[in-house]
Structure 1
Amino acid sequence: MKPTYLLALLLFLSLARPAAAQMYSTTDPFAHTFSIVARDPATGEMAVAVQSHWFSVGTSVSWGEAGVGVVATQSFTNKSFGLRGLALLKGGKTAQQALDELLSNDEGRDVRQVAILDNQGRVATHTGKKCVDMAGHQQGAQFSVQANMMLNASVWPAMAKAYEANAKLPLAERVLAALDAAQAAGGDVRGRQSAALLVVRGTATEGPWADRLIDLRVDDSAAPLPELHRLLSLDRAYDHMNAGDLAVEKNDMPTAIREYQAAEKMFPQNLEMKYWHAITLANKQQVPAALALLKPIFKQEPNWRVLTQRLPKVGLLTVTDAELKQILAL
């Protein structure tokens, strides 16, 4: 945002309300945007997804914690609503109770837009009366869609319709379908720049590092939603890669091969996926098949050959010396 534009906005706000009722803080970014919070009743997973014409919108709008809930805080964003909202939910408040408490002493409530979803699927949404048109929200069964500074007032109804129509999709793909519908209906009046997707478990585990199932951001792009779709597909492919790695640890080579093949099929140009598929084949005494995969990999990027030399030392490549020489000679 250009300094002159920011100064003009601040001047407008100072004239619109008394100085004691400041609505904007330099620590809180503008995030005029559209978003969705939702819970999958079958799995309990919860998601928040967002797109905006603003840099790195996911660092401001999207908040979530496994077993607790998700929050989207936007328009004249109050970032504290994310952590404070989750803390209130964790303390036993419902989504509506948490939202009411957040807004109760917020002098900027008229320019806020906030959506909260708790682990029971209850939603609470607020669109301040001074959010920039077109602005509004719509709630449904265990979800809420909200938008401000949109090209037209059909954006958030289109989001709700798309979300409800795609009930058979996994939650991540379903909320992205809602974002796609928003963009197709007109989206942000300024255009598009960034997007984010966060999915957390319905129940917290003993390993909180694994409780964020999906955490993807496109911070700056001419087409953030297509890129977010690509990243989600890549994330799904690497789930197969991780499952293949786990199978290798358990010496379950047939499963490892199946998982690596599934990943490679999703992203056939990804050398990483092809490479570990090939190494697994070699470890299963299928060296000719491994050679066929490794030859174009080594040709495209010789450093994979360097890596291959290092694998026998740590037990990740268990071929004979003769077979190793054959592989390295490719």
Structure 2
Amino acid sequence: MFLKRSLVALAVLLLGLAQVAAAQVYSTTDPLAHTFSIVARDPATGDMAVAVQSHWFSVGTSVSWGEAGVGVVATQSFTNKSFGLRGLALLKSGKSAQQALDELLANDEGRDVRQVAILDNQGRVAVHTGKKCVDMAGHIAGKEFSVQANMMLNDKVWPAMAKAYEQNASLPLAERVLAALDAAQAAGGDIRGRQSAALLVVRGKATEGPWADRLVDLRVDDNAAPLTELRRLLKLHRAYEHMNAGDLAVEKNDMPKAIQEYQAAEKMFPNNLEMKYWHAITLANKQQVPAALALLRPIFKEEPNWRILTERLPKVGLLTVSDAELKQILSLK
């Protein structure tokens, strides 16, 4: 009887130890983000990017981390989300990418199931693929970039990413890392399929505040083709950059430049009524009412609520036409 009780006690103890070990590797706050990702630095601008796709919901909230003037981190596989903020803090304290990674892994009981890549503001890269990451898993560290993947359909995925990134050096950084993600998917991608993706680009040097230092910050949390949607969002982001440049040109009273920027945005998304609308309002405010009327007529016809909004703009100074001109605008058929 004593032996039986001892064996039961031992079994309970071993089970408890196993549960503790498992808790050190995985918890409900650390998602199983098996995935492929890239961290990279643009040598011309110093800007840094981290991009990722996975068959996991909202992968961008757990894998990708970055801070202007500091670096970027991708933490995946059995994800330790704390590696994101802790890794950036170590870089900010003066550690190199490799020193930061070494310190993160030193006290991590789950290091064998982690996959982590860190890139610092000098372009130095450190990457780790734990020996117990689910096959196929691996990484390639190149000049100022690293690609890493786990639970892939085959072992061609991360080499395809590295090749695509290196061959697209002429592209802006955001488009260049997306090319690497597209190559990963084309080579086989995640063995489970696709669900979410994210793209973050931060400045190489911090400016007046973090609100100005995230150049691109896009996420697709749940989509059958997340990379296709992410590329659409990036294109929309670029279009609104043209809109912002147009607004800046108006402030400087450079109307030819403003019109050029607005038209560039509208060419990218010709069905976007808002882009056309604010273009028209700008023209009206610059005493180009006939040109504004030509743009506003089809907008009002397609969506009457824009006419209602236009009536409200003079009160807050966003439309500065005369009463007669406002009446002309509002009476468009």
Please indicate the TM-score interval, normalised by the length of the shorter structure: over 0.9
Shift of 1:288: 2.1
- Partner of 1:225, secondary structure, is helix
- Partner of 2:25, secondary structure, is coil
More deviation, 19-28/78-87: 19-28
Mapping of residues 267-278 of structure 1, within 5 Å: 267-278=269-280
More deviation, 176-185/268-277: 268-277
CA contact (8 A) 1:256 1:280 kept: no
Letter in 2 for 1:315: G
Residue 305 (str. 1) matches residue 307 (str. 2)? yes
Query: Which of 52, 61, 67 lines up with 1:50 in the alignment?
Result: 52
Shift of 1:243: 2.0
Distance 1:321 1:253 in 2: 23
Distance 2:19 2:288 in 1: 75
Letter in 1 for 2:193: G
Residue 167 (str. 1) matches residue 169 (str. 2)? yes
Distance 1:207 1:252 in 2: 28
Distance 1:315 1:256 in 2: 20
Query: Which of 108, 119, 129 lines up with 2:110 in the alignment?
Result: 108
Say how many residue pairs are matched: 316
Distance 2:313 2:251 in 1: 14
Residue 63 (str. 1) matches residue 65 (str. 2)? yes
Larger Rg: 2
Distance 1:328 1:24 in 2: 60
CA contact (8 A) 1:33 1:148 kept: yes
Distance 2:250 2:311 in 1: 19
* Equivalent position of 2:244 in the other structure: 242
Shift of 1:281: 2.0
Distance 1:193 1:323 in 2: 50
Unmatched 5+ residue regions in structure 2? Answer: 1-13
Mapping of residues 9-158 of structure 1, within 5 Å: 18-21=18-21, 22-158=24-160
Shift of 1:296: 1.0
- Partner of 1:38, secondary structure, is strand
Shift of 1:263: 1.1
Residue 320 (str. 1) matches residue 313 (str. 2)? no
* Equivalent position of 2:195 in the other structure: 193
- Partner of 1:63, secondary structure, is strand
* Equivalent position of 1:7 in the other structure: none
CA contact (8 A) 1:257 1:280 kept: no
Distance 2:104 2:284 in 1: 58
- Partner of 1:183, secondary structure, is helix
More deviation, 200-209/60-69: 200-209
- Partner of 2:183, secondary structure, is helix
Q: Percent identity?
A: 88
Unmatched 5+ residue regions in structure 1? Answer: 1-13
- Partner of 2:246, secondary structure, is helix
* Equivalent position of 1:3 in the other structure: none
CA contact (8 A) 1:149 1:188 kept: yes
Shift of 1:189: 0.2
More deviation, 257-266/180-189: 257-266
Distance 1:307 1:261 in 2: 22
* Equivalent position of 1:10 in the other structure: none
Q: Give per-residue Cα distances to partners, 1:2-34, cap 9 Å, x unaligned.
A: xxxxxxxxxxxx98x844533112211000000
Shift of 1:80: 0.1
List 4+ stretches of structure 1 deviating above 4 A: 17-20
- Partner of 2:271, secondary structure, is coil
Distance 1:246 1:207 in 2: 20
Distance 2:183 2:320 in 1: 50
Distance 1:316 1:216 in 2: 29
Normalised by the length of structure 1, the TM-score is: 0.92
CA contact (8 A) 1:245 1:256 kept: yes
Distance 1:203 1:280 in 2: 33
Distance 1:254 1:317, change over 3 A: farther
CA contact (8 A) 1:123 1:139 kept: yes
Normalised by the length of structure 2, the TM-score is: 0.92
- Partner of 1:145, secondary structure, is strand
* Equivalent position of 2:9 in the other structure: none
